[in-house]
Each structure stands twice: as C-alpha cells, then as structure tokens.
Chains A and B, each alone.
Chain A
Amino acid sequence: MEEMKENNSNQEQNQPKQLFVNGKRLDGRSEYEMRELKIAANVLNSANGSSYIHWGKNKIVVGVYGPKECLPKHTSDIFKAIIKSSYRMAPFCSSEGRDKPGPNRRSIELSKVISNVFEGLVVTEAFPKTEIDIFIEVLQSDGGTRCASITAASVALAHAGIPMKDMVVAIACGKADGKIVLDPSKEEDNFGESDIPMAITVHSKKFMLLQLDGKVKKEELEKALDLALNSVETIYNKQKSALENLYSQKLDQDIEAELVMD
C-alpha cells in the first residue's frame, strides 16, 4: 500500500487520451528528440564539487564531498573508497501536492542504483578506507530525474577532481502510444506503457544502469538501447562545456540566474 501511495498518490491529473497528436508528442517534440538540456558546474561554495542541471523542467543540484574518512567505520573498505549517494526529492518538487520530506522506498532504491553506477566509474582503489558522498537534491521534477541526476553527478565528480575511468551520461526511453520515444516527459512517464532509464559510459559505451518498467518486446528494448547510445555524444558535449566554462570567463548567465542560490 505504502509503495503505491508513493508512486501514485499525487497523480490526480487527468490521463490524456493520446500521447501523440498529428505525429508530434504533447510537448511538440518528435519521437527521437530530447528536451532542452543545460548543465553548469561549480554552483555551490561548500562542496568539493558541484553541478546544476536543467533538463526539460527538471532542476537538480548535486554536491560532492570527499574522499573523506569513512564513517561509521564498519562501512569502510580497506581496499577502496565507498560511494554513498543520496537521491532526495524536495517536498515541493512535483507539479501536484506536497510530498512527505525524507527518504521513501523509491528514493532509497534510486540512491542504491546511482551509487552502483559511480562505484564502477570512480577509481575507488586510489582512496582506501574513505567515502565519497554524492548528494542529489531534486528541486523540481519533470520525469527522468534519475537520469538527469546521474548526468549531473558525473559533472560534479569531475569538478571535485575525483579520478574516474570514464564519464557517464544517462537518458531514458519510454513507450508512448506503442512507439519507443527518447527522453520521455512526465506525462509520457506516467501514462505511457513503459519507462527505460539507462546510464552509458561515454567512451567504452557500457550500460552502467538499465532499468525497465512496463511491457516491452525484445526489438523495442534494442531500439531503446540504440536511441540512448545515439544520444551519448549530445549529452556529453553539454557536460564537457559545463566543465570547460569553469576555466573561461563565459559563465552561463541563464543558469546562474535560474539557480536561486548564493
């Protein structure tokens, strides 16, 4: 019961009859078109590394701390660093009612899968007995928050100067009115037939995260994997320019203005 409540309690909006109108998606995009994406690095003062991502209407801040002493001590590993991610949604982040603050079953699962992605990516062997904390705060949600979080966390880790084997980007595919679509919106996520979030390493093209919810045929999964693989370059370029901007005077004015934060 609790599980359902978390997933559905706030979805009081009416289900749209169809998710495609005149061959276009409800927000005017074509099947394989991504929503607008902006990324900025160095948005927080206290964190060792930070980033902000604005993807569709998603707004997410990520802060990275560490490597630092691993506490409590029994959670540490004498051979490597432990990655501790925490994915949290602000109580005011959804377009409907207020959510209960604090972790729920969904955010606990997401924190785990996000930690797994970066355990495989960070050169953890370089920092034995330490922990690296990745704090993810979803300020506004619009479908695809876990993918936006992973994409942003990758930038925040790079900004913190933590060595990684590769950069990772994440994007979801969905199934709306029987068609596989790239980067599903909130409506397509809620009312579509399927949701397939993926995280892919930029250079080795490996899937670090793959989840699937909803009914999907093998051919449709293959299509989703290909669509995600084809978007890696686009997302990576945004990550790269966010980091490059740190070393030029061209700070993205748009993003600075939108993130109301000193």
Chain B
Amino acid sequence: MDILEEIGKRSVHDLIARGIRLDNRKLLEYRKIKIQKNVVPNANGSALCKLGKTQVLAGIKFGIGAPYPDKPDEGAISFNAEFTGLASPTFELGPPNQDAIELARVVDRGFRSSGIIDLKKFFINEKNVLVLYVDLHVLDFDGNLFDACYLATMAALTNTKKPKVEVDNVNKTAKIIYGEFDGNLELQGIVTSSTFAVVKDKIMLDPNRLEESAMDAGIVMAVQDDNLVAVQKLGYDGLTKQQILNMVDVSFQKHQELKKFVQES
C-alpha cells in the first residue's frame, strides 16, 4: 500500500468538501494544455500533448494490410497505448495491461464513431488497403490519460502526411515508399474528450493522479460538434442520470475550448 497516496486521497476528500482542489483549480477547469506538433518527423504524423504534468506522445505510421471481408472497399485504423516504464513508478514493462487496453479502445471508439477519417480513401486495390496506426506513448503520468490521448491523437492527425504507395496492379501488390509523401491526410472535423471525476458528489474536470485515485466515480465523454461519439464510465460508484446529463453539457462547452488548442498549436 502506498501511504503517501492514502494521505493524498484524504486531502482530496477533505478539500473537496469545501469545494477546493489540491492545485487550487476551479472544479471545471483544465490544467495548462500545451500541444507540440511534428515532434517525430520520421513518423507520418506526431504530437506531444502536455496536460499539466501528464505527457503523452502520439505517433502515426501507415502500413499496408488486406481489407476486411465485410468492408472490402475500406482501409483501417488501429490504436495502441503504451504505458512506458518512465511515466510512473507503478507502471511495469510488458504487454499492455487492462488499463492500457481500455485507454486505447476508448480513444479508438471516439475517432472511429466520429468518421472524421474517411477510410474509403485508404483503398488501394482489392487485396491492399492502407492501415493507419496510432501509437500512444504515455511518457509522464499525472492523471487524465484519456483527454491527453484524445488531444495528442487529434493534433497528430492534423499534421499527418499520407504515404506514397507503389502499386502493381498486375500482381495486386502494393508497397509504401518511405520518405516520400502524397499530400496531407484529410479530416472531417475535430474530436475532443472531457474526463470528469466525481468525489463526494462534486464534479471535477480533468482529474490529476491523486484526484483520480480518490474519485468515487468518473466518466470520459468524447465529442464532435453536437454529437457524443464515445462515453466510458470509470470508477466503482454509480452516477445519477442528472450528473451524467450535466457532464454532457460541460463536455460540449469544453469541446469549443479544446478545439482551439488543436487548431492553434
């Protein structure tokens, strides 16, 4: 048991009863957000998102794969999250654990549902399609990986270059020519998410590590314009219908704020 974390949790509980957060933020206020695009020029697209002390690097690469039988005219997208050992004393090396899998799947769900990436444009021929891989590297962990990963992915997508592909239509093969590009990836909109922690019936936006470990329940809501595109409830306790609807409203408000960060960075 981590004694310091237990003490920290207690301070979160004591303070929130008076409506105060550990770092003096307002209940519905984000930490400082900083997004840097194209930090790994070798990748097709990349972005580093700093959300307070949390840092996530999203890297995008293209590969070639066979189309799925049920979607013969579409390419694919694939998300993976890596909790690197350097991000936290509690992260261990090895295959993705259930938290990393949940993170990647919830981010995947939002981008897939929104349809901002037109997978039909990834079609090459009947045997080959482009596959867009998003790898999310958690470099420093201080809570709220969901929003950091959504921001990093979104920013990385906006500076993603499509690869040049050499196609042999006789043998039905295709090969990516590395180092050469075929224009920018087109996107139809911006997806962002807002994560909330509920502690003693108080709703906090963008929980840090201690607030996350002290939370009774939480929720991630991913939004595009006036649509919800992904939701995942977190934590052990339940949420009331009214709490959920209140958080939906905040997510839509914060979407406008977050969109600017993606566009202006």
Contact = CB atoms under 8 A, between A and B. Distances in A.
B105 interface: yes
Nearest to A15: B70
A10 to B, nearest CB: 9
Interface stretch (A27-35, A141-149, A204-212): A204-212
B131 interface: yes
Contact of A218 (B105, B109, B245): B245
Given A109-B98, A215-B227, A217-B228, A209 B233 contact: yes
Interface string A94-131: 00000000000110110111001001100000000000
Contact of B230 (A108, A207, A213): A213
B71 A8 contact: yes
B248 A221 contact: yes
A38 to B, nearest CB: 26
Given A4-B76, A225-B244, A112 B233 contact: no
A18 B99 CA distance: 37
Interface stretch (B14-22, B31-39, B153-161, B235-243): B235-243
A2 B115 CA distance: 19
A214 interface: yes
B88 interface: no
B231 to A, nearest CB: 4
Contact of B102 (A8, A11, A109, A221): A109
Contacts of B228: 212, 215-218, 221
Contact of B68 (A9, A111, A112, A214): A9
A111 B98 contact: yes
Contacts of A119: 236
Main secondary structure of the interface of A (DSSP, over half): mixed
A11 B72 CA distance: 12
B198 to A, nearest CB: 11
Interface in A171-187: none
Contacts, number: 129
Interface string A218-244: 100110011001000000000000000
Given A4-B76, A9-B69, A218 B240 contact: no
B239 A206 contact: yes
Interface residues of B, number: 48
A121 B219 CA distance: 18
Interface residues of A, number: 47
B89 to A, nearest CB: 14
B70 A11 contact: yes
Contacts of B101: 105, 108-109, 112
A201 interface: yes
A9 B99 CA distance: 24
A112 B98 contact: yes
A1 interface: yes
B105 A217 contact: no
Interface in B106-154: 108-109, 113-115, 131, 133
Contact of B237 (A3, A120, A218): A120
A215 B113 contact: yes
B4 interface: no
A6 B17 CA distance: 44
A251 interface: no
Contacts of B227: 215-217
Interface of B: 1, 63, 65, 68-71, 76-79, 98-99, 101-102, 104-105, 108-109, 113-115, 131, 133, 217, 219, 224, 226-241, 244-245, 248-249, 252
Given A206-B238, A215-B228, 15 more contacts: A1-B133, A11-B70, A12-B69, A15-B70, A108-B98, A200-B238, A205-B241, A207-B241, A210-B233, A211-B231, A212-B228, A213-B113, A215-B114, A225-B245, A229-B241
11 contacts: A9-B68, A11-B70, A105-B105, A120-B217, A120-B235, A120-B237, A196-B231, A200-B238, A211-B233, A212-B228, A214-B113
